[in-house]
Amino acid sequence: MTRKALLTVFVWGAVFMLAAPVFAQGGSAAWTPEVYKWAMIAGGFCLAFAAAVGAYSQSRAVSAACDGISRNPGASPQIRFALLLGLVLIESLVIYVFVIALSIIFVKWGVA
Amino acid sequence: MEQFEHHSALSGILESVFHVHLPDHVVMAIFVAVLLTGFALWFRSRISLENPGKLQLVLESLVGGLIGMLEENVGHKGRQFLGLVGTLGLFILTSNLLGLVPFFSSPTVSLNMPVGCALVTFLYYNFQGIRAQGVGPYFKHFLGPLLPLAIIMLPIEIISHLSRVLSLSIRLFGNIFGEELVVLVLGSLIPFVVPVPMMLFGVFGSLLQAFVFIMLTMIYLGGAVAAEEH
């Protein structure tokens, strides 16, 4: 296909995909306090545990990076780059648990 | 999570004046697209070869940095992916930063947009891998190095590839949504000066998340395209 035909197909496809449906949340019945007690405890505890272990792992990464920079200051851009990449990847594991904790605490499971 | 749907000024105007009921993040994403396209078109008329202004030097160094990272991660064929990688990066960066501007909200705050970007990345790197190596050799990489290991390697490889979509989207969504949630909570407690340090951290986090998204896209592209070199 020519480039122009391909471009036309993609632009029309994008225009048609703009008609996105609006998702409406259903009605909320009573979310009993019994279940909600356990939901709050579970959500808070799992996030606290993940944050603690994540902070420990990030502290080890930062201390290793500081050692590396102090031993070899000329390599500091590469070390800094590797440090930032590693920190973001470790932090993303804590973010996964954060999203799960949000869905435990705030989503009303089992309610029509 | 109904209580977290907030309405920016633009979608409020669209709802009340034009009676258009679109979710907040769709309106903001269209706004970001229009903004970036408008900026690019305006800037095109001001590019000059002999007398570059400051903005042109900054953008040139940005593009040069992207091309350098592409060639370092993907190999010598990396230059052709600059279109997608640059667009994704600029779009995600602008979307993240838009949430800090008053009267606007960030399109990445809803889960749908990061999933969209992650799906685009996933489909694109598979498509480029198939285009570079052919359908057969590309799927033979899922079987792993030795043939007897193929039975355990195949589900592991499939799951790891599918989890890349999940991890890309949830990382971006979780960071930006979490930052905005903290600003909201702090603002509802003490609305005066206290949310500002969190918003400063939000600027830094937005930059970092956009950068990590493109970095991972480049790594996946490199893994898909250049795998024939072992």
B165-213 pLDDT, tens per residue? Answer: 999 999 999 999 988 888 888 888 888 888 888 888 889 988 999 999 9
pLDDT band at B47 (very low <50, low <70, confident <90, very high): confident
Count Cβ atoms within 10 A of the Cβ of residue B78 and give its class: 0-12 exposed, 13-18 middle, 19 or more buried.
buried
pLDDT given for residue B143 in this prediction = 78
| pLDDT, position A51 | 95
Q: In this structure, is residue A18 part of a structural domain?
A: no
The neighbour count for residue B83, using CB atoms within 10 Å, is 9
Contact B32, B94 (CB under 8 A): yes
The alpha-carbon radius of gyration of chain A (Å, integer) is 24
Q: State the average pLDDT over residues B95-114.
A: 88
Q: Is the pLDDT of residue B3 over 60?
A: no
Residue with the larger pLDDT of the pair B222 and B19: B222
> Which class for A15: exposed (0-12), middle (13-18), buried (19 or more C-beta within 10 A)?
exposed
- Domain presence at residue A12: no
Mean pLDDT on B67-85: 86
Q: Is A40 within a domain?
A: yes
Residue B179: closest C-alpha in chain A: A95
C-alpha to C-alpha distances, B228 to A40, B67, B81, B172, nearest whole angstrom: 50, 22, 18, 31
| A64 domain residue, yes or no | yes
Comparing A18-27, B20-29, B45-54, B65-74, the range with the smallest average pLDDT is A18-27
Give the whole-number percent of chain A exceeding pLDDT 70.
81
Total domains in the fold of chain A: 1
The three-state secondary structure class of B221 is helix
A13 inside domain:
no
Q: Which of B170, B176, B181, B182 to mutate to test the interface with A (most CBs of A within 10 A)?
A: B170
If you average pLDDT over every residue of chain A, what do you get? 82
Q: What is the pLDDT of residues A15-62, one digit of tens each?
A: 655 544 434 444 445 678 888 888 899 999 999 999 999 999 999 999
Residue A20 is predicted with a pLDDT of 45
User: What are the structure tokens assigned to B87, written together?
Assistant: 């667009």
Instruction: Check which CATH number belongs to the domain holding A50 and give it.
Output: 1.20.20.10
Phi, psi values for residue B106, rounded to 5°: -90, 130
The answer, for A98 touching chain B at a CB cutoff of 8 Å, is: yes
pLDDT the model gives residue A61: 96
Handedness of CA B67, B68, B71, B72 (dihedral sign): negative
CB atoms B212 and A22 under 8 Å: no
Residue A72 lies in a domain: yes
Q: Which of A7, A88, A90, A104 to mutate to test the interface with B (most CBs of B within 10 A)?
A: A88
Angstroms from A107 CA to nearest CA on chain B: 6
Q: In this predicted structure, which of A8-12, B62-66, B104-108, B197-201 has the lowest mean pLDDT?
A: A8-12
A16 falls within a domain: no
Which residue from B minimizes the CA distance to A19?
A: B22
Average pLDDT, integer, range B90-115: 89
Q: Is the CB of residue B119 less than 8 Å away from at least one CB of chain A?
A: no
Instruction: Write the CB contacts of B128 (distance below 8 Å, at least 6 apart in sequence).
Output: B81, B221, B224, B225
Residues spanned by the domain of A91: 30-106
Which of A22, A91, A98 has its CB closest to that of B23?
A22
Helix (H, G, I), strand (E, B) or coil at B127: helix
What is the model's pLDDT at position B75?
A: 80
B198 and chain A in contact, CB less than 8 A: no
Average pLDDT over residues A62-82: 93
pLDDT mean over B16-36? 84
> Residue A30: phi, psi to the nearest 5?
-75, 130
Distance CA B157, CA B170 (A): 20
Inter-chain touch A102–B1, beta carbons under 8 Å: yes
In this prediction, residues B128-134 reach a mean pLDDT of 86
Q: How many residue pairs bridge chain A and chain B with CB atoms within 8 Å of each other?
A: 43
pLDDT of residue B6: 55
Inter-chain touch B174–A96, beta carbons under 8 Å: yes
